[in-house]
Amino acid sequence: MSGETLAGIGGASPYKKDATSVAAKTASPQTLILSDQSWQARLPAHQAPAGTPDRQCRAGSLRSSEWLLLGYFVYASIFSALWGARASALVWRGGLTLAGAALVLLLARAEARTGSRFFSIVRDWLPAPLVLVAYWAVDWFPPPAQRHGWEHTWIHLDRLLLNGWGGRAVIESCGSVLPFLLELCYSLVYAIPPVSIGILYILGRRARVDRFLFTLLLGTLTTYMLLPHFPSVGPRLVFAGEDLPAFSTVFRSLNLWLLDHYDIRASVFPSGHVTAGFSAAFAMLLALPERKPVGWVLGALATAVAIATVYGRYHYAVDGLAGLGVSLLACAASARLHPALRPTVPGRRRA
């Protein structure tokens, strides 16, 4: 489609509109998948679809992903108080929540008043580090006394997969190669949100960042909300020294150090790593449907992470299955709640 044809979408010339109509009827499906930025640049601001940076800038409203983050932190602050947290901790958490909300609102207001691309870009990237903060907020809930009843039930499936069905033997059949790769994939989970946003930027799909983040956060934050309700401890701690991998790699040492120093203590069910991995894969498939291999690669990474959590004894198998289930539900909900941003031919439903 030519630039002149696109310019006629919102223009005043009837001849250009006719040309657009003819081009739309004769264009192949591939030509209809346009660059978001070039398409939006040729539309008047009032015709830009909801969720695009230009529309958000002019409306001064919060993005869908920002509403999810604010809602989660408000939930964590209020319900941790109801669970009997100390008053000093509640003051600190309340202040942190208010500061975060103020930052998000100020960025939205600044973008609305100035139209600055800088503030819009900051809003694209800010949710990535806030996902980690949201994860640590799970420990705001005082854990009940640990009885390890669930853990002694869940371990049977793990031992069936690793020992009975030969899962560990398959993984270690090539020496330390597969254990090394699995631990590497487990480490890469922390980089998935910023790398995914970067991919959308590189492909010229920056307008779909909120679409991606909405699905990612819907799954990930739902898991974080569930964690305090299923207090449990990982198998490497409850069953210390049992069912361990035969190989210790550099990335296993890194993962153990990170978990010992920065992991939450409230629960391991559902798995936050598995949920984040699969939610990112499904989010990319929804946000970037014309580049499905990108989503499939993230899905393969998430699958490797799920295997690594069981093989490395970081999680029980049921933790990963629950994380996958939450991700699937979040994907289905997102597909209905958040409209896609791809342009369509007039008269066709927007994907």
Instruction: Please report the DSSP string for 146-204 in residue order.
Output: ---HHHHHHHHHHHIIIIIS-HHHHHTTTTTHHHHHHHHHHHHGGGHHHHHHHHHHHTT
- pLDDT, mean of residues 123-148: 86
**pLDDT score at 140:** 83
Nearest to 151 by CA among 263, 266, 231: 231
Q: Is the pLDDT of residue 21 over 80?
A: no
**pLDDT score at 255:** 97
Say what percent of the chain tops pLDDT 70: 76
- pLDDT, mean of residues 125-135: 93
CA distance 199 to 52: 17
Angle at 348 between CA 52 and CA 200, to 5 degrees: 35
- pLDDT, mean of residues 138-151: 79
Q: Is the pLDDT of residue 43 over 80?
A: no
Contacts of 102 (CB under 8 A, 6+ apart): none
CA distance 329 to 241: 35
Q: Is the pLDDT of residue 34 over 80?
A: no
- pLDDT, mean of residues 8-29: 42
**pLDDT score at 139:** 85
User: Minimum mean pLDDT among 84-88, 208-212, 220-224: which range?
Assistant: 84-88
Q: Is the pLDDT of residue 89 over 50?
A: yes
**pLDDT score at 351:** 41
**pLDDT score at 86:** 66
Tens of pLDDT, residues 2-13: 444 433 334 444
Work out whether the CA dihedral 288, 292, 294, 295 comes out positive or negative: positive
**pLDDT score at 61:** 86
For residue 221, which phi and psi values (nearest 5 degrees)?
A: -70, -30
User: Other C-beta atoms within 10 Å of 36: how many?
Assistant: 21
* 14 or 228, which is more confident: 228
Q: Is the pLDDT of residue 46 over 50?
A: no
CA distance 103 to 106: 5
Tens of pLDDT, residues 260-309: 999 998 899 999 999 999 999 999 999 999 999 999 999 999 999 999 99
Tens of pLDDT, residues 69-82: 999 998 988 887 77
**pLDDT score at 85:** 62
* 55 or 137, which is more confident: 137
Q: What is the mean pLDDT of the chain?
A: 82
Q: Is the pLDDT of residue 218 over 70?
A: yes
**pLDDT score at 95:** 77
For residue 131, which phi and psi values (nearest 5 degrees)?
A: -60, -40
- pLDDT, mean of residues 168-194: 96
Q: Is the pLDDT of residue 24 over 60?
A: no
- What's the pLDDT band for 118 if we cut at 50, 70, 90? very high
- What's the pLDDT band for 36 if we cut at 50, 70, 90? very low
Q: Is the pLDDT of residue 339 over 80?
A: no
Q: Is the pLDDT of residue 25 over 60?
A: no
8 Å CB contact between 344 and 351:
yes
- pLDDT, mean of residues 298-325: 98
Q: What are 190's two structure tokens?
A: 């922390």
**pLDDT score at 130:** 92
Q: Is the pTM of this model over 0.85?
A: no
CA distances in angstroms from 157 to 143, 152, 153, 165, 213, listed in the order given: 25, 10, 8, 10, 33
